[in-house]
Amino acid sequence: MKLSDRIRQGDTRAAAKLITMVENDFQQAQKYLKELQEYCGQATVIGITGPPGSGKSTITDRLAKHIRKIGKKIAIIAIDPSSPFTGGAILGDRIRMQDLSTDKDVFIRSIGTRGQLGGLSRSTQAVVKIMDAMGKEIIFIETVGVGQSEIEVIKVSDIILLLLMPGMGDDIQIIKAGIMEIGDIFVVNKSDREGTDRLIVEIEMMLSLNDVRKRNPAIIKTIGTENIGIEELWQEVERLNVYLQDKGEMQLRRKNRIRKEIHDLFLENWQELFFQFIGEDNIENEVQKILKQDIDPYSAVQKLTEVFKKQIIKGG
């Protein structure tokens, strides 16, 4: 039986094998991703983001357990910091959510960011596709807390939960410029702490300054460790999902996601072609010249681009 067929039948080993292939040999993985494409588009993808320490893993875990009670199949993609030496995910997916990992209808996978901005690895979109084709109805993407660059999460998610917590102080000033715009639902976690009401007022004030939004995002108070507010949070996610579907906004978001995927794949293919045609020796020559101050990087790139163009015209 083909790998793609096994994945469609819910084979977790087959899914894990293809995800590893996506991370290590993306060109080879594309063959199987093409076969899975027609079975995608059914899952709801929920991004969970926010600053470090806001309780993203706890909220993901509690939401997943709540959703499993109503019988939905779930995938959790945890975007973890990569080891700078191996490129692998430092935090294991079994360390957190250990009891969920024994549920056959829950698939959990950690992916290393491999140094990319935005806290999302280049593999994430492909992994979402695999989970979708596997029959997972809800796919969570939990990101690392890396500040404003987490805005990248919006490009692969249908709905964004932005977690904040009281006591952040000046941190709210840091994140408001970039991340505040992407939150579909604001989750004030650890809401038993002092400063919760003040934080909610600050969020409301920031949202009131945004004239672009068609709707005001809900603000939900939770205490993840005690499972407080989780049911209300999920009800709000479901309400928002219906709203986005009815207004045609969900379709627009998915259209933009496809556009980004085409853009990323195109750039990746051309980058590969560039290095294939130019060769490492030519690049090394230019590096040495720049090092000696014989040439500047801009002129070097211009020169390499001209060589690349000639190779393309010749047909390589």
Alpha carbons 145 and 149: distance in angstroms, whole number: 9
| 146 pLDDT more than 60 | no
Q: Residue 157 domain-assigned?
A: yes
Q: In 10 A of CB 310, how many CB atoms?
A: 11
pLDDT at 286 over 50: yes
194, 217, 247 - which closes a domain: 247
Does the structure show a pLDDT above 80 at 164? yes
**Whether the predicted pLDDT of 151 surpasses 90:** no
Q: Which one has a higher pLDDT value, 27 or 34?
A: 34
Do 211 and 293 share a domain, yes or no?
Answer: no
User: Smallest Cα–Cα separation from 124: which of 268, 262, 261?
Assistant: 261
For the entire predicted model, the pTM comes to 0.86
Last residue of a domain, one of 247, 276, 301: 247
Both tokens of 297, joined, read 């990087």
Nearest alpha carbon to residue 63 among 141, 10, 152: 141
pLDDT at 147: 53
The pairs formed by 215-219 with CB atoms below 8 angstroms and a separation of 24 or more are 215/243, 217/183, 217/184, 217/185, 217/186, 218/185, 218/186, 219/185, 219/186, 219/188
At 93, is the pLDDT very low, low, confident or very high (cuts 50, 70, 90)? very low
Quick check: 125 pLDDT over 50? yes
Q: Give me the pLDDT at residue 119, please.
A: 41
Q: What residue spans of the chain are helical by DSSP H?
A: 3-8, 12-24, 26-36, 56-69, 124-133, 171-176, 196-208, 230-246, 249-278, 280-291, 297-314
The arithmetic mean of pLDDT across residues 225-248, rounded, is 96
Is there a domain that residue 253 lies in? no
Residues 298, 158: one domain? no
Can you give the residue range of the structural domain that contains 66?
A: 3-247
- Judge if 221 and 271 occupy the same domain: no
| Centroid of chain to Cα 91 | 16
Reduced to 3 states (helix: H, G, I; strand: E, B; else coil), residue 204 is: helix
Judge whether residue 221 has pLDDT over 90. Answer: yes
Asked whether residue 252 is assigned to any structural domain, the reply reads no
Domain finish residue from 247, 272, 287: 247
185-188 and 106-112: which strand pairing?
unpaired
**Co-location of 276 and 206 in the same domain:** no
Is a pLDDT exceeding 60 seen at residue 148?
Answer: no
Which CATH number do you get for residue 73? 3.40.50.300
